[in-house]
Every structure is written in C-alpha cells, then in structure tokens.
Amino acid sequence: TGSESSPKQKIYGSGGRVPKLIEILVKDAKSNGIYTAEEKVAERLAKVSKWYVRSLKYIVSTKDLYEKKTFTIFDKFIVSGDELAAQCAENADLIFGAVDDAELVKKLKSSWANLMEDQLVRLQTLQSHRDHFIAWSQNAAELLTSKEKRISMETLEKL
C-alpha cells in the first residue's frame, strides 16, 4: 500500500535525506580546502550515522547473525562500534574546540555517546544470544550424533 514505508525509509527515518546532507557537507569541506570545526563535527556525525544505520540493519534482520559466515563480521562490527564510541568520547574537546557554540558540542557529544552506548548494549545482547545458540547447537549435534538408532528420553531431556 502507499502508506507503508520501504525498509530503507524505515532505517533512515527521513527517507535518507539527513545522511545525504551530511555527506554533501563533508564533501564540500574537503573540496574547498578550508576545514572548519563544524565540518569536523559533520564528519564525525557521518561516521556515527553510518555505523548506526548498519547497526539497525543487524537488529532488524537478526536471522543473518546465526549464519556462520557472518559471525566474525558481526563481532568486528561491535568492536568497531566500541572504538568509535571511545573516539567520540576521547577526542571531543580537541576536535570541537574551535566551534562557536560549545553548548551544542556538549549536547552532540552526549547524544552520540548515549546513542552508541545504547546500540552497543543491544548488539552485545544479540551477540550473547547468538553465542548461547551456537553452544546449544554444538551440544545438540554431539548428543544426536551418537550411534544409537533411536534417541533416548535422557538425550532429549539434555537438550
């Protein structure tokens, strides 16, 4: 129906306009040779936004997390989120020191930190559920690969 949003619009929220505007600002900053503190803010916002959108894709489609080929990709993504969150927290004063509106920078830093922390908790919860499932499935495979033709009640109870 016409009233439903596409999955891409649901993830980007505003139909993808805000990330595009951030991308344009960062490109313009690089092309004109003058790199201001505001453009540094936009660059950091672009990194956080890109990571966040990708994290939403993992949350929306959790079935991919249970495929063996995505285990290390997902784990590395969480590590990259931890590193990005640490970068946002550590370098905020140094990077944004020349911004005219210091209060805005504090609010941005707080927002980014909260956003990253909340999303990392969600992703780590998914990671924990996945790891629990992997352990359970390995245990089930070991129990079911016995030489018995029939599965005993005891074996089923162990599962």
Per-residue pLDDT in tens (0 to 9) along the chain, 159 residues: 444 444 444 444 455 676 677 777 777 766 776 666 677 777 888 888 889 999 999 888 888 788 888 888 999 999 999 998 888 776 555 555 555 666 777 777 778 888 888 999 999 999 999 999 888 888 888 777 766 666 667 766 766
Q: How far, in Å, CA of 41 to CA of 32, rounded?
A: 17
